[in-house]
Amino acid sequence: MKSQIQLKLFATLREFTPPSADKFIIDQGISIVDLLEQIDMPREKAKLIFINGVKAELNSILEGGERVGIFPPVGGG
């Protein structure tokens, strides 16, 4: 079944943001890895993943209605 999520990509990942990111259509039960494939984003670019403000993993499952935030590795000095 189809559902939607709110998808937010940060910093250098913004280039992968789909046009419909606020109401991005997914298949219920997909993993974050599946989501990354759907938006053509290499999984190694996703360092921090949050679902509804809670840290998540690449194998976390989405059912729909979630807010998903993905951050790249952070550099610094």
CATH number, domain 2-71, options 3.10.20.30, 3.90.420.10, 3.30.70.3340, 3.40.50.300: 3.10.20.30
pLDDT at 42: 96
Where along the chain do its domains lie? 2-71
Mean pLDDT by 10 residues, the chain (77 residues): 97 96 97 97 96 98 98 77
The DSSP code sequence of the chain is: -EEEEEEEE-GGGGGG--TTGGGEEEETTEEHHHHHHHTT--GGG--EEEETTEEE-TT-EE-SS-EEEEEPPPP--
- Torsion of Cα atoms, 69 then 70 then 71 then 73, to 10°: 150
pLDDT at 43: 95
Q: What is the pTM of this model?
A: 0.93
